[in-house]
Chains A and B, each alone.
Chain A
Amino acid sequence: MKRTWESAARTACAVVALSAAGAMAQDRSAVQEIERYRQALGDGNPAELWEARGEATWKKPAGPKNASLEKCDLGLGPGVVKGAYAQLPRYFADVDKVMDLETRLVHCRVTLQGISPDEARKNPFGGPGRKTDNDALVAYITAESRGVKMNVPMSHPKEVEAFEIGKEMFFHRGGPYDFACSTCHAVDNVRIRLQELPNLTRQADAQKAYTAWPAYRVSQGEVRTFQWRLEDCFRQQRFPHLDFTSDASIALTMFLARNSNGAPFNAPSIKR
């Protein structure tokens, strides 16, 4: 319950920040907004629907091999879901490669269920009237790390390499606006319009940001994954579309996830 209250307060603050009102009016509407969200959250975070659907998808036999994903090894051994997300991305010896959650899920669907890689990779994000297995599985698996301290390993040389490449990407300015992630996320206490921007080069901000995704977006009625967040930031950066499961995507995720080490994972959350 405490968790829900905290995220409700955070969400309400974001909503209030958007209403361009004076300080007094803000105080009043802050109270109203928090009240409104408390009511909306009376029955919990709607992300729980995705979590339940994800658990069912995980356990249901599917694909040409008619197998479930229950033997999928997310890094802590076949079938261990609890706490697995808090240690991803990581190096997997069976493929000699660093993988993030989504990439590993694709791998398991291909190897365990016999689904083609293209089929397993398509439809990463849901939209109006279109629910995806990926969103549901990610909601389920991440929820199983709630309260677990982030502990992304960096002992294998390929983990170090992914982290360092992710760091290069974070600072890579390009495109017509000369933007990089660092344009918007390497300075303390700044905003774009009224949206506050985390300084992802600082541990406290990086921890808070990373451990709050996936999130149920009230404004969209969808659970949005961390990969979705990256996609939307790259759009604003005037960059093309980054394929999830690509080495670039894994590397950037590695950089951001590792920077959140030490903080308890706290998602799926709820955001405006």
Chain B
Amino acid sequence: MKTKLIVLSATAALAAGCATTPPESPYYAKSVAYMKAGFKDRGQAKVSERIEQDSLQKACSAYKTDPIPKDLAESMQAEQMATIKPPSDGKYLGDWKSGEKIAQSGQGGQYSDDPKRPSGANCYACHQLTKEELSYGTIGPSLFNFAKVRGFGPEIQKYAWNKVYNSHAYSACSSMPRFGHKGILTEQQIKDVVALLMDPNSPVNK
């Protein structure tokens, strides 16, 4: 009875937004005002859309190089997990060959990009994926042999889908973009990069 009560009140506290609230720098408001005045629209990059922060961006920025407190991280992860939409036909895997092209392309979202062209994901900017591509970054961990190591089953497929859809569902304040949640990639494109990670024939798993 007692434990149940504690659990209940903890949940209530979370629901009421009583988890640790991020610190706000006394300079925050002025920095946002400076940015709104100093930036100018260019191409698809509009000041009205790209300076104002959502709650996750704001909380992650506030901690700068400090770690986020555990309770806050957990409530943020739960919130981000709730944004994830599973594939409409229930199938996680698309075409790994098309996934490889998406993982290579850094097109999308920059004022220098044509908004009519489909976005890439530039996974290689941050991750090693295949042995063939040597030009890869190291901001994220190597994903070489991703499914070979973790297994090819539905649970891992779902994890890969979720991670690409909204990386913060598992690690709050990750550097990895929220490709599904922010609409960078289409449902089909996410299936294709998930296939790149999960298909036994993909060079990732060779």
Contacts and interface: CB of A to CB of B under 8 A. Distances in A.
Interface of A: 18, 20, 161, 164-165, 167-169, 171-180, 182-184, 186-187, 189-195, 197, 201, 235-236, 238-243, 246-249, 251
B111 A240 contact: yes
B51 interface: yes
B25 interface: yes
Given A178-B182, A242-B39, A201 B65 contact: yes
B37 A248 contact: yes
Interface of B: 25, 27-28, 30-32, 34-35, 37-42, 45-47, 49-53, 56-57, 60-61, 64-65, 109-112, 124-126, 134-139, 175, 177-178, 182-184
Contacts of B137: 190-195
A99 to B, nearest CB: 14
Please give me the 7 A-B residue pairs with the lowest Cβ-Cβ distance, nearest first. Answer: A248-B38, A246-B38, A168-B31, A20-B134, A241-B42, A248-B34, A175-B50
12 contacts: A169-B31, A169-B34, A169-B35, A177-B177, A178-B177, A191-B138, A236-B110, A239-B51, A241-B42, A242-B38, A247-B38, A251-B34
Contacts of B126: 192
B56 to A, nearest CB: 8
A175 to B, nearest CB: 4
Given A174-B51, A241-B45, A190 B139 contact: yes
B124 A168 contact: no
A235 B112 CA distance: 7
Given A194-B137, A240-B111, A243-B38, 18 more contacts: A167-B64, A168-B25, A168-B27, A169-B35, A173-B61, A174-B53, A176-B184, A177-B109, A192-B137, A193-B125, A195-B137, A238-B110, A240-B39, A240-B50, A241-B41, A241-B42, A241-B111, A246-B39
B34 A247 contact: yes
A241 B41 CA distance: 6
Contacts of B60: 173, 178
B65 A186 contact: yes
Contacts of B49: 175
Contact of A239 (B32, B37, B39, B65): B39
Nearest to B48: A240
A188 to B, nearest CB: 11
A144 B178 CA distance: 46
Contacts of A187: 139
B90 to A, nearest CB: 27
